[in-house]
Amino acid sequence: MILEQVDLSKYTTYKLRGKGAVLVEPKNQTELLTLLSYIKQHQIPYKIIGGGSNLIFADDYKGILIRLTAFDHLKIEENMIHVGAGYPLLKLALKVSRMGYTGMEFATGIPGTVGGAVYNNSGAYGSDMGYIIESVLMITPELEIKRFYNRDLQFHYRTSFLKQNPGYVCLEANIVLKKGNKEEIMDIIEDRKKRRLMSQPLEFPSAGSVFRNPNEMSAGKLIEDLGLKGYQIGGAKISEKHANFIVTDGHATGKDIIEIIHHIQDKVKEKYHIDLILEQEIVE
């Protein structure tokens, strides 16, 4: 599928105003490789996007957006999960948890796709994708298909080999889980769901936590202590419920959010001499 002049608000959880020049959804690896070859040959900017749950488009995007929605295969063999990059992470986490597998409870509140989660090393509650990934099948910048194992993927707090090395594309992941007590697993998930509903502004468009937590500190607490809850620019503001969330009214621009991010970073640096690291990604 190829779409022109797409509405970016449909492809980011911030619901940002803006246009994308072209969006392509390849049907298979052959189509994706052909597209990437064309992009490389003509030096066209491009961006692989998943659920858009970690993206801030600074403006209209002039390049090609690629979604791997067709890469959504799933095969479960005992403790090994083979899953495509386009499979929704939350859907996968709930499915395997209901089957009595433990290890993905942390992901049952994280939107986006498996590929995006691998790219960002998404995590919560002291765990992340780096703890459960066995290997990842990728397209290299030379357009070769190659398998990378956990030791190669440089998983660290909210980052990975993919994030640090543009040009690689995640096609699928092998995830290793353990069998557990299904009732205990589901009790944990339900308890965490209730706590998220109480503490996070899930009723508004957002992209989750904006900043990484500094060592043994809470980014949200630092921002809250500066009295910045409710600070607003345009259609975006710092949540009154959780200070490490920026929420929008559905009519915000990427520039609104970026200005708030810079304001927070400046104030935290000025008061605490701490450089807050952005957990989300700004796409120029």
Contacts of 70 (CB under 8 A, 6+ apart): 25, 26, 27, 28, 86
Q: Which of 158, 160, 172, 206 is catalytic?
A: 158
Residue 134 appears among annotated catalytic residues: no
Residue 195 appears among annotated catalytic residues: no
Per the CB < 8 A criterion, the answer to whether 76 and 137 are in contact is no
Which one-letter DSSP state was computed for residue 276?
P
What are the CA-CA distances from residue 160 to residues 106, 116, 120, 261 (Å)?
18, 11, 6, 23
Residue 279 appears among annotated catalytic residues: yes
CA dihedral (271, 219, 258, 106) in degrees, to 10, reads 170
191 membership: H or E segment, kind and range: helix 182-199
Provide the token pair at 210. Answer: 């904006």
Q: Which of 9, 53, 122, 279 is catalytic?
A: 279
Task: Give the catalytic positions in this structure.
Answer: 158, 209, 279
